């Protein structure tokens, strides 16, 4: 009798998990149930946008070792949730000789010429710098593990979402983009300078700049959980017999 009861309880828990997985709801990165993202802050608000405080910069100071290489450090802007998040892995930045620390900043600016040829900048442009009193630091990391990572929040979660682009030599160039939240995107930022999220005029067939298809993932997990429920019910019946 006890075995049968345990089997029924396990089946009920598994069924509850199936229902939970099937519900089309998700919480975006930085969001919380009682602490949702505030409206996007623009340097230059578009027509019709609500008035907000000015956007903030992400700033940090990173210590430099004897080899002139940086330690690791995160820096976020102060919005709720942050509109820009820059992560510097250990050894990814190299300072000029004599420098003991690197000042890293991601400063918001309004979009201006030159503009992307393949789409429209959505939100602010963030200019990333790494400086010391002895001169500018440079990115020396080449692999994914030692290259800085850049996260930016888009003004909306509308899909298909934007992609990252970097201003290089007066031309905006696309960077591999991963959607990591409802309105948050990530890229491997192998260069300093201007970065922005760009809504492409002709987006690819896959939306959101890549990332995981949450709907398909939930459906697959639901099927696996349902199989588990059936197996447990059959085991329970066999034990009672």
CB contact at 8 A, 143 and 175:
no
What CA dihedral angle connects 125, 194, 82 and 101, to 10 degrees? -150
Q: 219 in helix, strand or coil? A: helix
222 has pLDDT over 50: yes
Residue 240's pLDDT is 62
Helix (H) or strand (E) holding 196: strand 193-200
Average pLDDT over residues 193-211: 79
Structure tokens at 222: 């639901």
Q: Where residue 22 falls among pLDDT bands split at 50, 70, 90?
A: very low
Ranking 6-10, 124-128, 177-181, 206-210 by mean pLDDT, the lowest is 206-210
Residue 149's closest CA among 35, 58, 40, 217? Answer: 58
Distances (CA, A) of 45 to 40, 41, 54, 163, 185: 9, 8, 10, 20, 21
Ranking 18-22, 36-40, 153-157, 195-199 by mean pLDDT, the lowest is 18-22
């Amino acid at each position: 009798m006890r075995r049968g009861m345990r089997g029924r309880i396990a089946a009920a828990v598994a069924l509850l998990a199936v229902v939970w997985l099937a519900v089309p709801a998700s919480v975006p990165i930085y969001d919380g149930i009682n602490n949702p993202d505030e409206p996007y802050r623009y340097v230059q608000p578009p027509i019709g946008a609500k008035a907000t405080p000015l956007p903030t910069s992400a700033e940090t100071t990173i210590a430099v070792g004897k080899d002139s290489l940086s330690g690791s450090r995160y820096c976020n802007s102060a919005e709720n949730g942050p509109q820009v998040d820059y992560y510097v892995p250990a050894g990814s930045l190299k300072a000029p000789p004599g420098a003991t620390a690197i000042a890293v900043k991601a400063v918001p600016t309004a979009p201006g010429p030159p503009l992307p040829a393949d789409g429209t900048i959505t939100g602010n442009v963030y200019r990333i710098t790494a400086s010391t009193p002895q001169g500018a630091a440079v990115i020396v990391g080449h692999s994914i593990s030692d290259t800085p990572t850049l996260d930016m929040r888009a003004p909306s979660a509308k899909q298909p979402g934007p992609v990252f682009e970097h201003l290089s030599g007066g031309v905006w160039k696309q960077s591999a983009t991963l959607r990591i939240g409802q309105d948050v995107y990530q890229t491997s930022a192998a260069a300093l300078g201007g970065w922005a999220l760009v809504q492409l005029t002709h987006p690819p067939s896959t939306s959101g700049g890549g990332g995981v298809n949450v709907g398909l993932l939930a459906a697959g997990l639901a099927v696996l959980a349902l199989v588990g429920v059936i197996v447990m019910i059959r085991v329970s019946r066999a034990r009672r017999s």
